[in-house]
Amino acid sequence: MSWARIDSGKVQEIIAIDPLGKFHDDLVFETIPATLDPYVDQQWLYDGSNFVPADLAQFKARLQRQANAWAKDLRRTIAGTDDDIEIATWPSKEQAAMRHAAGTATTDDATALGAEAALRGETVDQLAAIINAKAALFRPAAGIITGLMSQFAAGLDAALDAPAAIAAFDALMAAPELAALPPGAP
């Protein structure tokens, strides 16, 4: 639980100790509601009964950045790599591995898969099987994440106040579709 010191309707500081009896009586403190506690900072206002961000658009942009970072981390967790370039090349690697498995690999496919397989100490058949297995997990997971992010963006765009924006973010974080993601994903 946190409290905000209010001066002229603006949050001046946040404290984590109950201020009752600990500060001069002229100082005004308000309890920050639990749902707003992670978000209220010195950029917020207090209108006498509610905490509101000074700039709703900036607050919504902050939530969008948090959601984007969460989605990027989730994709990396599922992919098993922090290498964004590796993740970006997966569609072409998947296609090459699928063509290899079907016996229709191009010269470029064979060169790329052969070079990676040699460096990994695997055969091209083993590498193609690994790529195809990972793609089978990653492709639907990426679709779920992309769909959830679209739902979140729509909810955030429609939000007319901070509680509605937070509700959109909370819905993203608690989406039941997350249970369908591969093991190891949050």
The reply to whether 186 falls in a domain is no
pTM value surpassing 0.85: no
Please give the DSSP secondary-structure letter assigned to residue 44: E
Within this chain, do residues 34 and 112 fall inside the same structural domain, yes or no?
A: no
Within this chain, do residues 49 and 103 fall inside the same structural domain, yes or no?
A: no
Nearest CA to 182 among 147, 135, 150?
135
The reply to whether 136 falls in a domain is yes
Within this chain, do residues 175 and 91 fall inside the same structural domain, yes or no?
A: yes
Within this chain, do residues 80 and 163 fall inside the same structural domain, yes or no?
A: yes
Domain interval for residue 166: 56-180
3-state secondary structure of 47: coil
What is the model's pLDDT at position 41?
95
* pLDDT tens column, 55-77: 999 999 999 999 999 999 998 88
Which value, to the nearest 10 degrees, does the dihedral of the CA atoms of residues 12, 16, 21, 27 take? 0
The reply to whether 74 falls in a domain is yes
Structure tokens at 111: 């060169």
